[in-house]
Each structure stands twice: as C-alpha cells, then as structure tokens.
Amino acid sequence: MLAVPLAVFAFAYGSAVVTGLTLQKRAVDFFDPAQGGGSIFDNATFGGEPLNVIISWQSSPDVLTDDGILNFARAIGFSQECLGLHLGDPQTANLGDGNGSVNQTVEFRQDFGNDFLGTCLESLVGGNHFRVFRQNGPQANSGALFLAVSKEQPASQNHDIVPDGYNIGRDELVAGAVGTKSFGGVTYNVVAKNITGLMPAGSDGVNHGIAVDGIVTLLTVTIQ
C-alpha cells in the first residue's frame, strides 16, 4: 500500500485511510492542485487554459507513461504534432505537487484518422488538441495526467480558441474516448465522470476571456 504525507489528505480525490502519521492511499484519482498552492488552470499567453480533463491514477499504469499516453491518444483520434514540430512556447502549469510551474509534457492534435500526417491538417484547418501535465511531485505524487483540452481555429486565425472552445474541446474528446477503443494492439475501456467544485465557472482569468462551465471530466482508462 502506498503511503503519502498526512499533509496532503485534504486534497486527495478518492478514498483513503489515515494510519499513524501517514495517509495510506487506497483509491486516489488525483490531488486538487489548489490545495498544494497550484491551479486547475495552466499558464497561457492571455490568462490560463483550463485543465478540464484528468486521467485518473486508478487507470492502468501503462496508460500514464509517455509512450502509454501517446498510444491512448492515437486510439481516441489524436497524435503527435505535425512532423514533430511545435510552434510557440510550451505552456506551463503548477499542479500543487511540489514541482512548481513546469512545462507541458507533450501536446497532441486531432489526426482526422491519419496518425502520421493528420495533425498537419489540424494545424492548417483547426480542430481539437490537448496538452498533458503529469502530477508527480514530492508533495502530491498521484501520477495522474491533467489535460488542457480546447478546440482551435485554423492557422489563418492564429490558432485562437473557437467560441466556447474549452467546453467544446473537452466534450468532444470525452465523447470520442468513452467506451472501448483500440490502437497498436492495445484495447482500452474508458469510463468518464464529471466533477464540479474543482474549477470555478466563468471567464475570470481564463485565456482569451472564454468562459468555462466549471466541469472537469475524470477519465479512468483500463487496458483490457
């Protein structure tokens, strides 16, 4: 059984039991970044982008690795950026885990059914994309993946977020993920749960002033 400091008990999402001076983690999905001095928004150019999807620590361990999240992303219609190139600076986030503000781990774009060149089309005409941040610091080492999902406009519109693009991007990703999905010989079963109270609703401090509805969707991804 995994032990974590008692100080993080207040922001564990899931069930847990206190034994002596430590918290025995039984079914922790993630830790609330705000309780560790972090934020459920990342740091973008004109405010923060919502970390509106979380892949639970209760998912199969292989899903939470760098190679695992790439394969899962491909299973749900996303892949690496066009020819491996990224334009602009990476966004950062503080997940309240003791690591402070760190760069995104990776970014994936909608691939339109072609995991090799499809993301080049997304870069041109717009579509869905998400950034990945891993909660693995010494104060809150859940291993959960926090995703900043949004739907963006084409390159001709500087890849700005479409109206209501954070909610739309989240909903489209979740709709495409729930159920049974497969890629590269790996089959996933995905269950979604909406969480309220973790993210404030509204546009205050949100990138481009685009309002969010305050819902974060938790995905539990199990390899069959």
* pLDDT in the model for residue 9: 34
Q: Where in the sequence is the domain holding 199, given as residue range(s)?
A: 29-223
Residue 174 lies in a domain: yes
* CA pair distance 122, 207, nearest whole angstrom: 21
Closest by Cα among 121, 107, 118, 106 to 77: 118
Residue 94 lies in a domain: yes
* pLDDT in the model for residue 22: 37
* CA pair distance 28, 144, nearest whole angstrom: 9
* CA pair distance 54, 219, nearest whole angstrom: 6
Residue 216 CA neighbour count, 13 Å, CB half: 27
Q: Where are the beta strands (DSSP E) in the chain?
A: 2-5, 12-19, 22-31, 53-55, 78-80, 92-94, 101-103, 106-110, 127-134, 145-152, 179-183, 186-195, 216-223
Residue 12 lies in a domain: no
How many domains does the structure of the chain reveal? 1
* CA pair distance 181, 169, nearest whole angstrom: 19
pLDDT in tens, 211-224: 999 999 999 999 99
Give how far Cα 123 sits from Cα of 53, 99, 105, 127, 179, Å: 22, 31, 19, 8, 28
Q: Is the pLDDT confidence value at 85 over 50?
A: yes
> pLDDT band for position 124 (50/70/90)?
confident
pLDDT in tens, 126-140: 789 999 999 999 999
Residue 14 lies in a domain: no
* CA pair distance 154, 149, nearest whole angstrom: 16
Residue 11 lies in a domain: no
Residue 80 lies in a domain: yes
Residue 8 lies in a domain: no
Length of the chain measured in residues: 224
Q: Report the Cα 25 to chain-centroid distance in Å.
A: 22
Residue 21 lies in a domain: no
